[in-house]
Structure 1
Amino acid sequence: MTNQVVAYQRRRVGTGESLGTVALDVPARLLDTRACWYTIDLEKLVRAGVDPSRITGAVHAAEHGLIGLLPLFTICDRWDVGGVSMAMHPQTGDPTIFVYDGYAGGAGIAELAFADVTRHVSETLSLLESCQCEEGCPSCVQSPKCGNWNEYLDKGAAILLLRLLNS
């Protein structure tokens, strides 16, 4: 896993109002770890009603939901894992979500997630479907550690995606 911080966002204390983005020039960090991934057939996703323009938001929101619920299925904290989602991954050729251990060499979290994948996906879907919010909130798809400032999240499309994974 390669990670590079390219900017940070300044926010007003109290209101959270964005005051701008500051670019950074820092080297990339390499983390040799373990991961599990979820690949969704693009054609099935489109047939399920997800417009191609919404796929980025679908995989990103589903990634956050999966990571947020992972502590219920493993002995971890959401800060112990990370995630990456791509609307079209070059190796899989389809929309793909990666959930990885945040520790060098891995800590066994990804393996535990994989071992209970059916329940993990089902409970994540249930959370998103039962959340009363319209577009996503900190209880369902927003993450306190999102490197994209919780932008490009599509809760509705994530529900459709998780239904496919759950079937």
Structure 2
Amino acid sequence: MSETTQRILPPTEALICFNLYAASHGFIRLYAPYLERIGLTYPQFLVLLTLRGPEGEGQPQGVGELGALLGMESNTLSPLLKRMQGAGLLTRTRSEEDERRVVIALTEAGRARAEAAAEVPGCIAKDTGLSEEDYHTTLEVLRKLRGQIAGLDGKPATE
């Protein structure tokens, strides 16, 4: 970053972490009215979309698999799944092959809600006004950054 850019921007504006944090909060606020209409919180939305799958095929998944896909620890995910089960959106059953493993599957009500949830990203894309090219470029940069951060395993690269 050039010296001129650093002098013009407030210190937080020059930080990737601040801009990611602010953008994340902004996106979640954009999602809120859409999710309220279908009776979901943002984490529930993510769970339903993940269980639905990219083509709506909806294969059951273990809690560990689901947590890995969502980047959530089981101590955060388990209470969320219990609430969703209580709302009739999914089932939680012990695996027949390994009783330690809990398998999560959508109910009919969960599938219907997941289908409604799958429409929301298109609405958000329209709301943000991002071109398809900008969308894909931003997604590529964010995925790359997530991968690099995950590779650090919580340790600074300078150690």
Q: TM-score range by the shorter chain?
A: under 0.3
Structure having the larger proportion of residues in strand: 1
TM-score w.r.t. the length of structure 1 is 0.27
Higher radius of gyration, 1 or 2: 2
More helix by share: 2
* Bigger relative CO (Cα 8 Å, ≥ 6 apart): 1
TM-score by length of 2: 0.28
